[in-house]
Structure 1
Amino acid sequence: MRYCSVRTAAGDRLALRRDDGVHDLCSVDPTLPDGVGSLVAGGPDLIARAGEAAQRVTAQSRLDEGSLRFRPLIERPGKIICIGRNYAAHAREGGAEPLDYPDVFMRGANSLVAHGEPLVRPRCSDNFDYEGELVFVVGRRARHVSQADAYGIIAGYSIFNEGSIRDYQRKATQWTMGKNFDGTGGFGPDLVTPDELPDGGQGLRLTTMLNGTLMQDGNTQDFIFPVAKVVELLTEAMTLEPGDVILTGTPAGVGYARNPPVFMKPGDVVEVTIEKVGTLRNTVRDET
């Protein structure tokens, strides 16, 4: 299944993407919640009900994609946890050797931007960089999870463009400021359930295109810390909750490491595509 959070003339809706378009699941079952965040928070029984509704969609439930607007897949996650430098080539392009323990940092919900909406370059910097990433969404409360059991806590996978303000990222030893400017992180469009992908999202090609030019071309088989290991490491320290979003890192090819550097600017179009997951597309605008 491929679920998404959309905004229609009739209000916010939980939707289903199929080959024939995007369908309003709330019109099929009015008791369903209005978005993916509430769906995941509702647990396995609610997700099963959404799956049953998905079998009953018709031409009447199909939404007009021309007037459809997406919302960030999960608008207010409890936690957005980011794994830094999780591809060896990306670590080296930034001047570091692969790590024995991952860099872990957090993003805030105010940084999130929906598929199809503009990313925001802030007033204070023009060092606005792209980072295409696979994300997974936690589906159940979890602590002290082994790698063998890790996949059982995952509700699904999606795409993130972890827009980074590079000069602010490097103002201190912690990366928090450069990773949390409002409106800098594209997220969506779909939550793809695990049954549609290889375990852990392993072996998927990831590309980032900027104005039609290929900038990043990686594969999740190159993770230093695969998804199962990330789950084990995180739950050693903290409880993961349904709806928490985990970013798994970006491959080589980011803008700051190029000669000369390439940063996103107003009017740009950036597309992150992950095999079997889809494409996240955003434009760029200046902060007003």
Structure 2
Amino acid sequence: MSPFSHIVRFECEESGRFYFADLGPDADGPPSPGAQLPAFRSIDELFSNTGKETVTVRRILAPLPYDGVPIYCVGLNYRSHAKEAKLSIPSYPPLWTKPARSVAHPNEEIRVNDFCAKSLPDYEGELVFVTSKECRDVTPTEAKNFILGYTVGNDLSCRLFQLQKYSGGQFFFAKAFDKFAPIGPTLISPDMLASGKSFQVVTKVNGELRQEADFRKDMIFSPEKILSHMSQGTTIPAGTAVMTGTPAGVGAFRQPRVFLQDRDTVEVSMQKVGTLRNRVVFE
């Protein structure tokens, strides 16, 4: 059994400090600013039920246990996306990382400089899992014991630097810019995800439906297979967020192609988790 059901991380009104709270299994998305919650200063205190305080929510933060941890990303992990990109399904999950500075919070403006604005910025709504403890060389069967929970994210990308001419086939630079990994707003437990409910990841741009992921049917590599593969010979820190890939519907493969513009708002939603909403602002 998971030690929680539904985690939110937030900045409190009283002191500006960061807190964690378990919203319980009946919550549907994050609390509103101004709500008062019994909360804890760290994820470890929440699990041990020590140091509880009642504080007021000022703003919701990315629901990650620790700051400063790089993010892993998976490419071509949906059959529908591989089809729209006219690419073969890979034998192993293609992987790259984003720096810790790429993390952005729910409702945070994503400020994009002129260089990125001219480099074909695009969205990718994704299911995200977060590791519970350090792991290395785990099997797919063992991997489930190292997954803390699930949320959603937006793997923002500058498509120009995914083109072979400009990237040499390496995607890190195209995706590693500051604030190019919004994550949140809440983290649900593996038990909740496995409860039999129909969970889907839905992406909208300015209210228009762009992506709808049925990851139980469309996903190629499960979270457990992804974590097992990325841990081979590599120590994966606790609190690592892993973006598990995107389905069909990204701007680069729409007809006609459409990329993010100044003041566009991207929303990535999933049942229980809530809606991750970020506006893109060109500097």
Q: Tell me the TM-score range normalised by the shorter chain.
A: 0.7 to 0.9
Q: How many residues align?
A: 263
Q: How does 1:200-239 map to 2 (within 5 A)?
A: 204-221=199-216, 222-239=218-235
CA distance in 2, matches of 1:207, 1:70: 20
Mapped pair 1:158 → 2:166 = no
CA distance in 2, matches of 1:24, 1:108: 31
Q: Cα gap change, 1:150/1:107 in structure 2, threshold over 3 Å: closer, same or farther?
A: same
Q: Is the 8 A contact 1:77 1:244 kept in 2?
A: no
TM-score (normalised: structure 2): 0.84
Opposite residue 154 of structure 2, the aligned amino acid is N
1:145 corresponding residue in structure 2? 138
Q: Cα gap change, 1:156/1:270 in structure 2, threshold over 3 Å: closer, same or farther?
A: same
How far is the alpha carbon of 1:51 from its aligned partner? 9.0
Mapped pair 1:11 → 2:1 = no
The RMSD of aligned alpha carbons is: 2.5
Opposite residue 210 of structure 1, the aligned amino acid is V
How far is the alpha carbon of 1:15 from its aligned partner? 3.5
Q: Is the 8 A contact 1:215 1:253 kept in 2?
A: yes
Mapped pair 1:69 → 2:74 = no
CA distance in 1, matches of 2:46, 2:10: 17
1:228 counterpart SS class: helix
2:82 corresponding residue in structure 1? 91
CA distance in 2, matches of 1:51, 1:138: 22
Opposite residue 134 of structure 2, the aligned amino acid is R
Between Structure 1 and Structure 2, which shows a larger proportion of helix residues? 1
Opposite residue 133 of structure 2, the aligned amino acid is R
CA distance in 1, matches of 2:238, 2:18: 19
Deviations 1:193-237 (A, max 9, x none): 2222118x9963111011111000111112110111112211223
- 1:119 equivalent among 101, 107, 110: 110
Opposite residue 83 of structure 1, the aligned amino acid is V
1:276 corresponding residue in structure 2? 272
Q: Is the 8 A contact 2:106 2:185 kept in 1?
A: yes
Opposite residue 16 of structure 2, the aligned amino acid is G
CA distance in 1, matches of 2:112, 2:259: 10
TM-score (normalised: structure 1): 0.83
CA distance in 2, matches of 1:50, 1:83: 34
CA distance in 1, matches of 2:50, 2:274: 20
Runs of 4+ deviating beyond 4 Å = 50-53
Deviations 1:40-60 (A, max 9, x none): xx4xxx44224995xxx8xxx
Q: How does 1:23-42 map to 2 (within 5 A)?
A: 23-26=36-39, 32-33=40-41, 38-39=42-43, 42=44
Q: Is the 8 A contact 1:144 1:232 kept in 2?
A: yes
Opposite residue 108 of structure 2, the aligned amino acid is E
CA distance in 1, matches of 2:226, 2:50: 28
Q: Is the 8 A contact 1:77 1:245 kept in 2?
A: no
Structure 2, unaligned runs of 5 or more: none
Mapped pair 1:49 → 2:56 = no
Opposite residue 217 of structure 1, the aligned amino acid is E
Opposite residue 70 of structure 1, the aligned amino acid is I
Opposite residue 193 of structure 2, the aligned amino acid is L
Q: Is the 8 A contact 2:12 2:19 kept in 1?
A: no
Q: Cα gap change, 1:146/1:210 in structure 2, threshold over 3 Å: closer, same or farther?
A: same
2:232 counterpart SS class: helix
Deviations 1:251-280 (A, max 9, x none): 110001112212122222211012333211
CA distance in 2, matches of 1:225, 1:277: 22
CA distance in 2, matches of 1:233, 1:198: 22
How far is the alpha carbon of 1:77 from its aligned partner? 4.1
CA distance in 2, matches of 1:174, 1:51: 45
Identity %: 31
Q: Is the 8 A contact 1:163 1:184 kept in 2?
A: yes
1:132 corresponding residue in structure 2? 125
CA distance in 2, matches of 1:213, 1:230: 31
